[in-house]
Amino acid sequence: MATQHDHAHGHDHEHGHEEHEQLKVLGFWIFVVTDCILFGSLFATFAVLMHNFAGGPTGKELFELPGIIASTFILLTSSFTSGLAVLAMNKGKVKEMISWLAVTAVLGLAFVVLEINEFTHLMHEGATMATSAFWSAFFTLVGTHGLHVSVGLFWMVALMIQLKRRGITPVTRRKVTNLSLYWHFLDVVWIFLFTVVYLMGVM
């Protein structure tokens, strides 16, 4: 921190502000950890109920892996591009940053659309929440993740508008840091969903 500061007072003020924003990032991190516990509970429920088909269709019969594989790579790539947005932010490039966020949002939207298609397909095949314990656990777990991604999309669009208006400030910087944490977290949850629900489901 060898940067020259003419106004010692101004520097103190800014530093205090930045520290406050850092604290908010920690606060958001704690939310993410509690969200982990939410998903942990849903995973536990799924793990317990995953063999209870009540004579109805099984995951192996209905899952269509190509679509799931596509969603997996789409979400993984969007996690990467949200990281690139943070990199652009650290370089102070607002336009580049908004573009990467836009790419992330488009990929996220593609993921949600694929998921809606999948759910519609499953319901057509006669697998709804009421079909069996397996499908209840499935729709709750996968649906909760999909809901998180959808909420993240609205947040992302709102943030892009704010960035366009205000540029990179300590506040928008903190918000983008939190958003990218959230997005990486959703990708991590999906990795486990993909492994436990789909890969183990088709075995």
Partner 1 sequence: MSQHENHGDHHNHGSLKSYVIGFILSIVLTIIPLVMVMNNMLDKTTTVIWILVMAVLQFIVQLFFFMHVREGEKPRYNVQTLVLGLVIVFTIIAGSIWIMMFNKY
**Which residues are near partner 1 by CB under 8 A?**
1-3, 18, 22, 26, 29-30, 33-34, 36-37, 39-41, 43-45, 47-48, 65, 69, 72-73, 76-77, 79-80, 83-84, 86-87, 90-92, 173, 177, 181, 184-185, 187-188, 191-192, 194-196, 199-200, 202-203
Residue 20 CB, nearest approach to partner 1 (Å): 13
Distance CA 201, CA 181 (A): 29
Please identify, using beta-carbon distances, which residue of 40 and 126 lies nearer to partner 1.
Answer: 40
Residue 14 CB, nearest approach to partner 1 (Å): 11
For every residue of 28-68, DSSP letters joined together read HHHHHHHHHHHHHHHHHHHHHHTT--TTS--HHHH--HHHH
Distance CA 180, CA 182 (A): 5
Residue 17 CB, nearest approach to partner 1 (Å): 12
Please identify, using beta-carbon distances, which residue of 10 and 126 lies nearer to partner 1.
Answer: 10
Please identify, using beta-carbon distances, which residue of 13 and 91 lies nearer to partner 1.
Answer: 91
Residue 134 CB, nearest approach to partner 1 (Å): 14
> Is the separation of the CB atoms in 111 and 71 below 8 Å?
yes
Closest listed residue to residue 135, CA positions, set 46, 39, 41, 40: 46
> Is the separation of the CB atoms in 105 and 81 below 8 Å?
no
DSSP-derived 3-state class of residue 93: coil
Residue 123 CB, nearest approach to partner 1 (Å): 25
Please identify, using beta-carbon distances, which residue of 3 and 55 lies nearer to partner 1.
Answer: 3
Please identify, using beta-carbon distances, which residue of 35 and 128 lies nearer to partner 1.
Answer: 35
